[in-house]
Structure 1
């Protein structure tokens, strides 16, 4: 008898069907072997890594009980496919009703680490809290502002009847801040929110100081809560992302554009600090840094990330920062980071060991049971023994998936590497990459790559990524110039490893230009690709400087990319600057349409997943196939001298 027969709560379904009733069940229960973010839902064996789960939970509780609310770091170390992100998914699922879960994928631009972190925080904060009608940001602000207002009212000697009513209402449920402050009476609602804004800003100044931009950010968050009009809330959302507002939008909100004076990095740091300070009135934040293994491919980015993390520990209170890493990668990073960075990140350590064969089987049983299937009916004892004989949970799930396809759809098992020798060659490639990254002077030859079978596998992976990118296309709230430029740099460094290639931004003194990547091939061809998704005066001034660069470098090709989802540029001077670039012999303006964006994101995802060893594939082999499959794509052609 399976252990789940006596504990049905561990998996959702207990009525087991016959194995091959195709009309009743068509989805491969083992087909998903990865967790992409902690907000996803996958079958979960609660007993697996239960001690590590309790350790993480205890750290959050310790921060909450600390009168100083000091932030703490923890390295969550485990080999590829060991279940690090899956454990975070379980952790998030239990903690998200009280704590805010912020998921930060690998940064990609050395000059925009803080903004990358902030942008990913905003993406996480708009995730809906399961079982509710509210997002994480709405919960954070409701609890924080309600707590502040209740305390402020109770300090008054003679609060008015309105104030006492507000105290009672918010004490009953802090979510009443959205649904009970005046009801349908617009004037009462406005009056109540003016009181909340006044008292909260006074509290902020008295508690955290009047300097910096913190008060303006707090005010924007209050406006975001108070506005019922979707259009006005969208204006505030744009301001909070660092986007420039039009004169009309500024007049309607009473705000000022601050990013040009502070810079995006400065604005991001201040906004992150505000979120951390507000969380003291709520519960500790949980910030998860994932997919960090690929940082090794850009040492400048790695070092800047370490310095940024040190600043985050200084600026953000009340936060548990979790760093998901391979054990050997953390040891390598620790040798590069400043000791103060290492000390903060590895203040605590949690290790995930390889599960036993019985635990691997429990994972399979849970997946099968969730699909109302019986594992022992699906596979023979001999097949199960082969399936669970994997080095990681991911490998075991992939093995089960292959056998499932064989049984259900008569799809042959994938051919393993043709021999033990081939398997060793893949390991040698990976070992060479690891050693050369650390020592940078090893050189030994590796037999030529055999393309057989790889093209089909990579094509299938890109199809899967494209499907995901298509689904997310309309939901993306923040399109960042720096993020796109960073992604392009990551891809070009990977794709151009076999060629003599220089990659970096082109600058114009201290003048602001579009975030850009300059590519110079071994034969001397130079292309500058700029991204300009912003609008307003910042768009015009940056494009004007970009045009001046193009005029002063007549033998360099300049292309400017703007996402088609952004507002159309209509200002007279801006349109003139666009035409100025278009009419040059060495310039072009490109609208990044849906197909262009989907392929761009798919290639980035494939490359970074290989770098982070989420996919068991040699990067150099994959690059050869990518270049062949998409040889006409503009990104690939950047590496060619005839582009």
Structure 2
């Protein structure tokens, strides 16, 4: 709803009226024929009333001293037998008394002079007062001033500050008219899968430039459908060798997301609704009929009506549930590989309400080898030390997909994938494409959604198998910039009730804001104007948008990487005692720009706070994923330091996941396995340390993982041997170290995915200079 500023002149009867619209323009000025006939071209009162009714439709009416104006206007409406308008009313006189108590006066003249309000003609001139158009213009500016004052007094947080959705389980204001056709197409595709007798999975490619709102649209899907469909959010894989496990791990993390105020998770909903359908397939006894009646009324009674936590009754009830589910599973010929144990783990997860037990079971479901004491507590068997994590992960995804056949289709969203188009990530991209092809074949009843930039999708099509491309692109949806009215509605939806967008910003402000190239850029510019008006922070200059290919940043970074590679190939070919030739990266200003600091500092503070809050809840800690993150950081460092990376071998022995930095002669490894599985990898690692006395080795283990028992003498001896070696060290990856690793990786991928539009090399250099992460310092030999 917009607003209309009105000023009237007259005693008992309406003689003159002026209307100012929300842009500050005089859109109507008239004298009444009945009471001001001496003015040129007066209008009949009936016409003025009709014009006001038309122009005021759907708007808040703003007056100074509203009682006086309303008395005159209502009299005019009565005189022509018209009902008064139902519009909301705002009185600047009353609002000024609340915002600025104890002033000497509250007349329009006094307030305008007190607040320094002026028009092009100057400050308020009493000789020109009592002209409706003159007074209305000052009332318009007073109203805008009062809007700013109200926001300052109420200390309202910047409503435009959050311009991006990191994952669809977050909650942000949503203007549902934006991309509603695309939303409807997504839900229609889900219905098609549901109605398909074969429940064949389908693909959707959701295309949009950076900041267009792809993840935000998926957030709308989650907010509306999470009680009915499980939504799995899968970010970019980090390593070519663990694609399936990456997808499965994030599937488990997504299934832990809460759906309602009672802390029921997506996995709770899936099991509860699936079990009702399974129960219906068996011959009914009096006991099962009673249970079926209870669960049909509300499937979530499964968690609240089967006995108290820890009681014998609850234990027996859940044992019976497990038996029935496994029997049904066997009858469907689904018992293959690890599926029986995975299904048992899912049921066990749902049987507990204790978050610590659930946390342990999620780790177990991810294939983590828990300590025997932990597996005994949760009543699940240990995994084999030879478990193939990717094969296991695919089995886990099949279990989730088959459970969904008893409920509704899964929504599997792959997001933040743009960096996979970079040359250094080509191996990840190719393996990811192969994994998608396999998932389409193996996982039924699923809607696969890929969120991508248009140019990235063009590139992916040249890399993926043709069959994969065809399955993914069954539906292609584009998110173009919404219309101006939709964008204005989006900005208005962010504001507190009663605050008008056009009162906060001028017409020129809105022209600048709405002229930005994406929704995110529009919100960021609105945020800058808000800080300017409400917090007094200078407004950043307008950024001229230069039309370039959206992958320009990626091409520049790729070129720099290839130049460094060329350098590494050429230098060994140069004569040992010939003229010295030095190849250097392009010269850059070592000091970061003010714009970079202004953008990066708040981002780092906010993201670090999120990571620290999530640190205790993280359930799945994976060595391969951690090495993948470190590899991403290493690639980003190439613009500052030549950092060739590879791996070492020790015959056929299994080594901890690691990276070898040949120029620095350093090796860093992670051993994020269960305590009982540490010895084999640790012993092999020690042999590697002995075999390479010229290198320095660092073996890390996340501090949240259970340490090896003191009774595990062989493991303890191997750790001591590593720490006593001249070139090896074992250490815990502390919370601060973990935050540095995750924060640097998040910053780099956000820049590569253009969620954070700043220069990558400058950002990495700024992080190193101002945060000095110890792990990176060790790799670079700065320790």
Do both proteins adopt the same fold according to a TM-score greater than 0.5, normalized to the shorter chain?
Answer: yes
Q: CA deviation at 1:448?
A: 4.4
Question: Are residues 1:530 and 2:669 paired?
Answer: yes
Q: CA deviation at 1:193?
A: 2.6
Give the whole-Å Cα distance in 1 for the aligned partners of 2:618 and 2:427: 28
Q: CA deviation at 1:112?
A: 0.8
- 1:20 aligns to what? 149
Contact 2:561–2:639 under 8 Å retained in 1: no
* Residue ranges of structure 2 left out of the alignment (5+ in a row): 4-56, 61-87, 91-145, 568-584
Q: CA deviation at 1:120?
A: 1.0
- 2:494 aligns to what? 367
Q: For residues 232 and 293 of structure 1, do their structure 2 counterparts lie closer, same or farther at Cα, with a shift above 3 Å needed?
A: closer
Among candidates 237, 254, 262, match of residue 124 of structure 1: 254
Contact 2:362–2:620 under 8 Å retained in 1: no
Q: For residues 250 and 92 of structure 1, do their structure 2 counterparts lie closer, same or farther at Cα, with a shift above 3 Å needed?
A: closer
Instruction: Using the TM superposition, name which of 333-342 and 272-281 deviates more.
Output: 333-342
Contact 2:740–2:773 under 8 Å retained in 1: no
- 1:94 aligns to what? 224
Instruction: Using the TM superposition, name which of 241-250 and 80-89 deviates more.
Output: 241-250
- Structure 2 matches for 1:388-407, cutoff 5 A? 388-407=514-533
Contact 1:426–1:618 under 8 Å retained in 2: no
Question: Are residues 1:206 and 2:331 paired?
Answer: yes
Contact 1:403–1:413 under 8 Å retained in 2: yes
Between Structure 1 and Structure 2, whose CA radius of gyration is higher? 2
Among candidates 538, 546, 553, match of residue 430 of structure 1: 553
Partner SS for 2:769: helix
- Structure 2 matches for 1:137-148, cutoff 5 A? 137-148=267-278
Contact 2:258–2:264 under 8 Å retained in 1: yes
Question: Are residues 1:483 and 2:483 paired?
Answer: no
Instruction: Using the TM superposition, name which of 355-364 and 580-589 deviates more.
Output: 355-364
Instruction: Using the TM superposition, name which of 25-34 and 621-630 deviates more.
Output: 621-630
- 2:322 aligns to what? 197
Give the whole-Å Cα distance in 1 for the aligned partners of 2:707 and 2:404: 37
- 1:11 aligns to what? none
- 2:779 aligns to what? 638
Instruction: Using the TM superposition, name which of 81-90 and 343-352 deviates more.
Output: 343-352
Question: Are residues 1:181 and 2:289 paired?
Answer: no
Contact 1:436–1:442 under 8 Å retained in 2: no
Give the whole-Å Cα distance in 1 for the aligned partners of 2:757 and 2:730: 38
Q: For residues 23 and 512 of structure 1, do their structure 2 counterparts lie closer, same or farther at Cα, with a shift above 3 Å needed?
A: farther
Give the whole-Å Cα distance in 2 for the aligned partners of 1:99 and 1:586: 53
Among candidates 600, 609, 613, match of residue 471 of structure 1: 613
Contact 2:418–2:456 under 8 Å retained in 1: yes
Give the whole-Å Cα distance in 2 for the aligned partners of 1:460 and 1:174: 44
- Structure 2 matches for 1:167-566, cutoff 5 A? 167-182=292-307, 186-227=311-352, 233-251=358-376, 255-297=380-422, 298-369=425-496, 372-415=498-541, 430=553, 432-433=555-556, 448=588, 451-453=592-594, 454-521=596-663, 525-566=664-705
Q: For residues 484-528 of structure 1, give each alpha carbon's deviation from its aligned partner in whole angstroms, at most 9, with x where no partner exists.
A: 11111111111124543322333434332222222222xxx3211
Q: For residues 5-60 of structure 1, give each alpha carbon's deviation from its aligned partner in whole angstroms, at most 9, with x where no partner exists.
A: 9699xxxxx99983333341331011111001111111111111110000000011
Give the whole-Å Cα distance in 1 for the aligned partners of 2:59 and 2:706: 54
Q: For residues 534-557 of structure 1, give each alpha carbon's deviation from its aligned partner in whole angstroms, at most 9, with x where no partner exists.
A: 222212221111111111111111
Q: For residues 50-92 of structure 1, give each alpha carbon's deviation from its aligned partner in whole angstroms, at most 9, with x where no partner exists.
A: 1000000001111111111111111000000111111111111
Give the whole-Å Cα distance in 2 for the aligned partners of 1:327 and 1:559: 42
Q: CA deviation at 1:258?
A: 2.8
Q: CA deviation at 1:284?
A: 0.8
Q: For residues 636 and 608 of structure 1, do their structure 2 counterparts lie closer, same or farther at Cα, with a shift above 3 Å needed?
A: farther
- 1:573 aligns to what? 714
Give the whole-Å Cα distance in 2 for the aligned partners of 1:635 and 1:482: 18
Give the whole-Å Cα distance in 1 for the aligned partners of 2:455 and 2:760: 19
Question: Are residues 1:627 and 2:768 paired?
Answer: yes
Contact 2:737–2:775 under 8 Å retained in 1: no
Q: CA deviation at 1:249?
A: 4.0
Partner SS for 1:18: helix
- 1:72 aligns to what? 202
Partner SS for 2:451: strand
Contact 2:201–2:444 under 8 Å retained in 1: yes
Give the whole-Å Cα distance in 2 for the aligned partners of 1:529 and 1:316: 36
Q: For residues 245-287 of structure 1, give each alpha carbon's deviation from its aligned partner in whole angstroms, at most 9, with x where no partner exists.
A: 3334445556433352332112111111101100111111111
- 2:2 aligns to what? 2
The normalised TM-score by structure 1 is 0.90
Question: Are residues 1:112 and 2:112 paired?
Answer: no
Q: For residues 186 and 623 of structure 1, do their structure 2 counterparts lie closer, same or farther at Cα, with a shift above 3 Å needed?
A: closer
Q: For residues 245 and 438 of structure 1, do their structure 2 counterparts lie closer, same or farther at Cα, with a shift above 3 Å needed?
A: closer
**Aligned CA-pair RMSD:** 3.1
Give the whole-Å Cα distance in 2 for the aligned partners of 1:18 and 1:412: 19
Q: For residues 96 and 47 of structure 1, do their structure 2 counterparts lie closer, same or farther at Cα, with a shift above 3 Å needed?
A: same
Higher relative contact order (CA closer than 8 Å, sequence separation 6+): 1
- 2:103 aligns to what? none
Give the whole-Å Cα distance in 1 for the aligned partners of 2:235 and 2:253: 11
- 2:131 aligns to what? none
The normalised TM-score by structure 2 is 0.74
Q: For residues 53 and 545 of structure 1, do their structure 2 counterparts lie closer, same or farther at Cα, with a shift above 3 Å needed?
A: same
